[in-house]
Amino acid sequence: MRQSQLFSKTIKEAPTDEKSINAQFLIRGGFVDKLFAGVYSFLPLGRRVIKKIENIIREEINAIGGQEIYMPALHPIENYKKTGREKIDILFYTDLRTGVKLVLGQSHEEVVVPLMQKFILSYKDLPKAVYQFQTKFRNELRAKSGILRGREFLMKDLYSFHASEEDLNEYYEKAKKAYNNIFARCGLGDKTYLTFASGGTFSKYSHEFQTLTGAGEDIIYICDKCRVAVNKEIIEEAKHQCLGCGNKNLKEKKAIEVGNIFKLKTKFSEAFDLSVLDKEGNKKTVIMGCYGIGLSRLMGTIVEVYNDEKGIIWPEEVAPFKAHLILLIGKDKKGQSKIAKAADSLYDELAEKGIEVLYDDREEKSAGEKFADADLIGIPYRVVISEKTIEKGSAEIKKRNEEKVELIKLKKVLEYF
């Protein structure tokens, strides 16, 4: 994409009401725009990052047998009365003109269970797993931390249905692995800990995936030996020991919850009487698990982990573009047409080979402004074409996360990527 065409622009001054690094850089870089606290628009660069994250999640969840669906955001309040959640404080309420009361989906158990009830008729229909990418609405009293805690945000929610607890346990382990793959592909593998959390009423423990960063709102206690952690809620109960290996030398860290997995067991299936007859003809309530990842929170976490004073440093698989091609024409316009022609050709060549390039062809910007924008936006490879590089028949390539600058012959750039 030509940057001269891109409607979003970088912004010099960060908005004063946005304290978090993620919001500062994402707004300044033109990734998102704040409509009001906790509610953001995603601009072309931000939309591309979200799509990259979405595709990674889709691949990994498809690989564990998830079937993609899309459920509504408007939910009948009647369904929430059945689960006793009709008054939880994060609900948004609205009404049909006919007077029927509705809530906005803050999660989808109240919709997915009656839906699956229409198709799960026998133990032979189990196990099944369905998921979606869908907006969640949560009426947070205070929305802060940029896109980490939204009042409206995109979430992947997966629900699994089983004939037995053993089967749920087996799927739960698969989901753990899929989650590890997802966070690794998003560049967070090293920093993300499987964390024991309270299971509430459903099971002894649930698990959170917590990513270490100073911007985290959560406190977790990590075990270096087995790379698991315990969250603050249950550290007392765990007697300050690692629940993996018993290690007592846990380290207190700040972290962001980037995902969670729950054994719901029969809490929601009982509420709707989702049951099947087993082989012996006995009625059995279906056992459930649920597995969530907030996509915008994940995007914000990546920014919190990967940045420097100049801007964002996107991991390659989630970057909005792979390369940022920068055309530099001197103030004297010397060699202008030759330089521009070389940059245009390289842009076309890379695009043709399917390499995603943001091409900074803007005429009115100085070299300093273009470099500052490139650092702020944080695309992994910066490719500069200027009078100086063209003299050598080359482009200058620099990785966003390294200081080293390489001169690469124009004919070899494609090979480089």
| Rounded least distance, CB 138 to a second copy, Å | 10
Of 58 and 398, the one with the shorter C-beta distance to a second copy is: 58
If 0-12 CB within 10 Å is exposed, 13-18 middle and 19+ buried, where does residue 86 land? middle
The H or E element that residue 82 is part of is helix 77-83
Is 15 a binding residue for a second copy by CB under 8 A? The answer is no
Binding-site member from 75, 149, 365, 382 for a second copy (CB under 8 A): 75
Q: Would you call 245 helix, strand, or coil by DSSP?
A: coil
Binding-site member from 98, 402, 403, 415 for a second copy (CB under 8 A): 98
Specify whether the CB–CB gap between 43 and 299 falls below 8 A.
no
Q: Would you call 18 helix, strand, or coil by DSSP?
A: coil
Is 59 a binding residue for a second copy by CB under 8 A? The answer is no
* Residues linked to residue 256 through DSSP beta bridges, in sequence order: 211
Binding-site member from 19, 63, 84, 93 for a second copy (CB under 8 A): 93
Q: Rounded CA gap, 153 and 186, in Å?
A: 18
Of 69 and 355, the one with the shorter C-beta distance to a second copy is: 69
Binding-site member from 59, 95, 190, 406 for a second copy (CB under 8 A): 95
If 0-12 CB within 10 Å is exposed, 13-18 middle and 19+ buried, where does residue 11 land? middle
Instruction: Report CA-CA distances (Å) from 45 to 115, 205, 242, 255, 413.
Output: 35, 38, 41, 26, 24
Of residues 343, 301, 302, 305, the one with CA closest to residue 319:
302
Q: Would you call 186 helix, strand, or coil by DSSP?
A: coil
Q: Which residues 256-315 are close enough to bind a second copy by CB under 8 A?
A: none
Q: For residue 168, give both structure tokens.
A: 């749920």
Binding-site member from 19, 59, 63, 72 for a second copy (CB under 8 A): 72
Runs of H (alpha helix) within 318-382: 336-352, 367-377
Is 366 a binding residue for a second copy by CB under 8 A? The answer is no
Binding-site member from 130, 229, 384, 410 for a second copy (CB under 8 A): 130
Q: Which stretch binds a second copy (CB under 8 A): 108-116, 191-199, 225-233, 247-255?
A: 108-116
Q: Which stretch binds a second copy (CB under 8 A): 139-147, 266-274, 315-323, 332-340?
A: 139-147
Binding-site member from 23, 77, 111, 357 for a second copy (CB under 8 A): 111
Is 120 a binding residue for a second copy by CB under 8 A? The answer is yes
Q: Which residues 142-181 are close enough to bind a second copy by CB under 8 A?
A: 151-152
Binding-site member from 21, 43, 175, 326 for a second copy (CB under 8 A): 43
Is 128 a binding residue for a second copy by CB under 8 A? The answer is yes
Q: Rounded CA gap, 362 and 329, in Å?
A: 10
Q: What dihedral angle (degrees, nearest 10) is formed by the CA atoms of 228, 234, 238, 244?
A: -20
Of residues 168, 177, 223, 169, the one with CA closest to residue 196:
223
Of 36 and 402, the one with the shorter C-beta distance to a second copy is: 36
Q: How many residues does the chain have?
A: 417
Is 14 a binding residue for a second copy by CB under 8 A? The answer is no
Is 137 a binding residue for a second copy by CB under 8 A? The answer is yes
DSSP 135-156: EEE---SS--TGGGS-SEEEEE
Q: Which stretch binds a second copy (CB under 8 A): 33-41, 181-189, 211-219, 314-322?
A: 33-41
Sequence letter at residue 104:
L
**Binding-site residue total for a second copy (CB under 8 A)?**
55
Q: Which stretch binds a second copy (CB under 8 A): 117-125, 168-176, 234-242, 391-399?
A: 117-125
Q: Would you call 336 helix, strand, or coil by DSSP?
A: helix
Which residues lie near a second copy (CB under 8 A)?
5-9, 33, 35-36, 39-44, 46-47, 50, 65, 67-76, 89, 92-98, 100, 102, 104, 111, 115-116, 118-120, 125, 128, 130, 135, 137, 139-141, 151-152
